[in-house]
Copies of this chain bind each other. A is one copy, B any other.
Amino acid sequence: MADASRIGVVGATGAVGTVTLQVLRERGYENVRAFASARSAGRQLGELTVEEATPEALAAGDLDLCLFSVGTAASRELVPHAVRGGAVAIDKSSAYRLQEGIPLVVPEVNGERALEHDGIIANPNCCTIPLTMALKPLHEAAGLARVRVSTYQSVSGAGAQRMEELRATGPAETDIAMDWDFDGDESDEESKLRSETRKILELPELPVSATCVRVPVMVGHAEAVWLETEEALSAASARELLGRASGVRVHEFPTTHDAVGTDDVLVGRVRRDPTVENGLVLFVVCDNLRKGAALNAIQIAELVLARRVVTA
């Protein structure tokens, strides 16, 4: 039974960790432990007492699965200990996403890759997940030629502290931001979106150009997408393909409020890009804490757990 699995949530007090615990509860997992830094250890999260995420605790051998939503540096440090202890680690940081041999998984897009892990499975960036879910069915039908995307990313993607800051900001003072690290003329968020999309879709040369922008919304990421296909694909056919895609819901004018709390990726504004021959325009929205992070990681976990049952 899935709910007998021993699951550790590391980074349990953060924006994504909190939603991870919530989605695990919703899905009936009862054998869950919450881990965080020493600062949060001892804190009560509902019925769970937060434990300190020490190498020893994670390597103790009493976890089947360990879901990490901590920073990249902390993931690099802690994930190997969980794996050493026999857990399968599902890591939401960017630490392992592009590492060769480590699967980077969106269950509806490349779920079969989850089973090729060697202890670690990486969960993609919160913008990559909805983007690849919208692109996959269109690629299968007509072949992707290139993708341009501009994002409208909520502050929860930057963590619980930024959510507090937005709560404290008067609506008159809100601003957009590009609060990522820049290497050359691209932010790391923009280059992640390209590299991860290529890895997940297994299109290592796919041309992708992204402009990532933070907007003063609490939860929910949106993306304006222009894509070109190798073969002609009408907007009506694209809408039909998206309507049949698992985890995708066609919603004509999706906003972040429409997406918050839902598991689906909402895809709307599906129309022809009149500037090129085989161009389409989309608007993609999802709950970045759920499908963009916590839910996707738990769906990966369920692929692993399902396999364990079969092979047991």
Q: Which residues of A line the B interface, CB within 8 A?
A: 146-148, 150, 152, 166-178, 185-186, 207-209, 211, 213, 215-218, 220, 222, 224, 226, 235, 253, 255-257, 269-276, 279, 281, 283
A147 engages B224 (CB within 8 Å): no
Residues of B within 8 A of A215 (CB): 152, 176, 215-217
Residues of B within 8 A of A257 (CB): 175
Beyond A168-B171, A209-B273, A215-B215, 18 extra complex contacts between A and B, CB < 8 Å: A146-B275, A148-B275, A150-B150, A152-B176, A167-B170, A174-B174, A174-B218, A175-B217, A176-B220, A176-B222, A176-B256, A178-B255, A178-B269, A185-B235, A185-B270, A207-B274, A211-B281, A215-B217
A218 engages B255 (CB within 8 Å): no
Residues of B within 8 A of A270 (CB): 185
Residues of B within 8 A of A166 (CB): 171-172
Q: How distant is A214 from chain B, measured CB to nearest CB, in Å? A: 9
Residues of B within 8 A of A172 (CB): 166-167, 218
B185 engages A209 (CB within 8 Å): no
Least CB separation from A206: chain B residue: B275
Known: A150-B224, A171-B167, A171-B218. A209 touches B281 (CB 8 A): yes
B269 engages A211 (CB within 8 Å): yes
How many angstroms from the CA of A174 to the CA of B175 in the assembled complex?
Answer: 12
Q: How distant is A188 from chain B, measured CB to nearest CB, in Å? A: 14
Q: How distant is A57 from chain B, measured CB to nearest CB, in Å? A: 34
